[in-house]
């Protein structure tokens, strides 16, 4: 089976082929004989009801510094493709949401991974609140008084933008820290969205675990260790990955979360203190540590769905 695959992503020219999950997914697709065509989110359009994009055919090589060849630009109707991978990075802003409306016009006749309507309806830091037994005390609000009360009740807390990504804007506030008001003022200067506050878990210094799920089933995990003196373990913020095994508690959490992801048609995701369904990462590190090939598992499932 040869599929026509479009990938909605950040510029392919700038990706790190040694760590980037999107590169791994695309290379696996190419190895299986699927054709690749890439476009940036800002080159997506809705023209008289048709979801169109301006992009280029892509050929990949696992050669650092020479990893891609691109054809000339052309405009395509995304309904012509068998699969669209929605892989641009957050923030989960109105531009991101608008893109989900456009892609919803072609799904499921063209299989969009992940389902754009469900991505829109599953903001990562909000979706996890549906499983209160599996995350630290969490408050989502714009109300400064409620945030102060949460801070007093829980002492050390972590404050995050609700729709951010890659650790951007994440800060730790110690018990009694007087900077909460100033941080909320800075946040209000950027936008009107709520913030998320979570009780700080000291064990984060030993790393946080990123578990990859394909079609609701766990395929493996990596542990992300924060840099020296850091609270953020994101790989984009200086964190490092190490091998880790799934524990009985991890499998219990996956058993609770997996069926819901499956019900929503979210084929590829991961979780830590949130459930990431926009642009899940960590697949290269998992394979490098001898774990499962999440890209192969995902394409096995996509091919099975397209064969139905």
pLDDT the model gives residue 166: 60
Q: What value does the mean pLDDT take over residues 188-193?
A: 80
Residues 76, 110: contact at Cβ < 8 Å?
no
Determine the 3-state secondary structure of 257 from DSSP. Answer: helix
Tell me if 110 sits within 8 A of 84, measured CB to CB. yes
pLDDT(236) > 90: no
Q: Which residues pair with 38 in a beta bridge?
A: 7, 56
Convert the pLDDT of each residue in 146-190 to its tens digit. Answer: 999 999 999 999 998 888 766 677 888 999 999 999 988 888 887
What is the distance, to the nearest Å, from the Cα of residue 81 to the centroid of all Cα atoms in its chain?
A: 23
| Nearest partner of 124 among 158, 171, 90, 172, judged by Cα | 90
Q: What is the pLDDT of residue 187?
A: 82
Is 306 a residue whose pLDDT tops 80? yes
Residue-wise pLDDT for 210-228, tens only, equals 889 999 999 999 887 765 6
* Most confident region among 15-19, 66-70, 204-208 by mean pLDDT: 66-70
Report residue 179 as tokens: 């900077």
CA distances from 147 to 128, 152, 184 (A): 19, 9, 10
- pLDDT tier at 204 (50, 70, 90 boundaries)? low
Tell me what pLDDT residue 244 has: 83
Cα R_g (the chain), whole angstroms: 20
The DSSP H or E segment spanning 33 is none
pLDDT per residue as tens digits for the range 71-104? 999 999 999 999 999 999 888 889 999 999 999 9
Share of the chain above pLDDT 90, in %: 61
CA end-to-end distance (rounded Å), the chain: 12
Percent of residues, the chain, with pLDDT higher than 70: 91
CA distance 219 to 211: 8
Nearest residue to 183 (alpha-carbon basis) of 199, 193, 169? 169
* More confident position, 236 or 141: 141
State the average pLDDT over residues 220-240.
64
Token representation of residue 252: 């219990």
**Mean pLDDT throughout 258-286?**
84
Q: Report the C-alpha gap between 195 and 193 in whole angstroms.
A: 7
- Distance in angstroms (rounded) separating the CA atoms of residues 64 and 103: 32
Output the pTM of the full model. Answer: 0.87
- Chain-centre distance for alpha carbon 8: 13
Question: Who contacts 262 (Cβ-Cβ below 8 Å, separation ≥6)?
Answer: 215, 216
Q: For 34-52, what is the mean pLDDT?
A: 97
How many angstroms separate the CA atoms of 45 and 134, rounded? 39
> Partners of 210 in the beta sheet?
222
What rounded mean pLDDT belongs to the chain? 89
pLDDT at residue 132, as a whole number: 86
């Amino acid at each position: 089976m040869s599929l026509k695959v479009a990938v909605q992503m950040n510029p392919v020219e700038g990706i790190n082929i040694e760590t980037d999950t999107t590169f791994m997914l695309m290379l696996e697709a190419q190895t299986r004989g699927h054709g690749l065509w890439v476009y940036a989110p800002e080159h997506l359009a809705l023209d008289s009801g048709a979801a169109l994009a301006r992009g280029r055919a892509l050929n990949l090589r696992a050669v650092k510094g020479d990893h891609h060849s691109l054809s000339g630009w052309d405009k395509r109707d995304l309904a012509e493709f068998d699969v669209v991978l929605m892989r641009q990075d957050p923030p989960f802003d109105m531009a991101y949401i608008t893109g989900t409306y456009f892609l919803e016009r072609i799904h499921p006749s063209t299989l969009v991974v992940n389902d754009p309507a469900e991505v829109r309806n599953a903001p990562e830091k909000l979706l996890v609140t549906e499983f209160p037994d599996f995350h630290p005390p969490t408050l989502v609000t714009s109300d400064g008084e409620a945030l102060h009360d949460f801070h007093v009740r829980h002492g050390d807390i972590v404050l995050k933008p609700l729709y951010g990504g890659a650790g951007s804007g994440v800060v730790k506030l110690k018990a009694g820290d007087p900077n909460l008001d100033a941080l909320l003022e800075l946040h209000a200067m950027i936008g009107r969205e709520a913030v998320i506050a979570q009780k700080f878990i000291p064990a984060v210094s030993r790393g946080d675990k990123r578990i990859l799920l394909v079609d609701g089933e766990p395929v493996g995990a990596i542990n992300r260790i924060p840099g020296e003196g850091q609270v953020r373990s994101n790989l984009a913020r200086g964190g490092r990955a190490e091998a880790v095994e799934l524990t009985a508690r991890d499998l219990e959490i996956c058993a609770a979360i997996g069926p819901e992801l499956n019900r929503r048609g979210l084929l590829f995701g991961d979780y830590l203190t949130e459930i990431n369904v926009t642009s899940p990462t960590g697949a290269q590190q998992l394979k490098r540590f001898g774990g499962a090939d999440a890209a192969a598992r995902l394409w096995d499932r996509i091919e099975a769905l397209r064969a139905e």
